[in-house]
Amino acid sequence: MIKSSFIYEIQAFIWVFYGVGFGMDNRYLKMIVDELREMLGI
């Protein structure tokens, strides 16, 4: 239960991060997302 809520927090963070963009290259952002997914096993 704790793990799933943690995953939801990460996903929310990713969506906010993606929405804001910070003027970053999307490929770089995708790399970060893919790494997080691998780490969390999503």
- The number of folded domains in the chain is 1
pLDDT (tens digit per residue) in 2-41? 677 887 888 887 777 766 655 556 677 778 878 888 888 7
CA atoms of 35 and 38, how far apart (whole Å): 5
pLDDT of residue 17: 72
The answer as to whether 10 is a domain residue is no
Determine the structural domain holding residue 40 and report its residue range: 17-42
DSSP letters of 2-36? Answer: HHHHHHHHHHHHHHHHHHH-TT--HHHHHHHHHHH
8 is a domain residue: no
pTM above 0.75, yes or no: no
- ∠21-26-30 over CA atoms, to 5°? 105
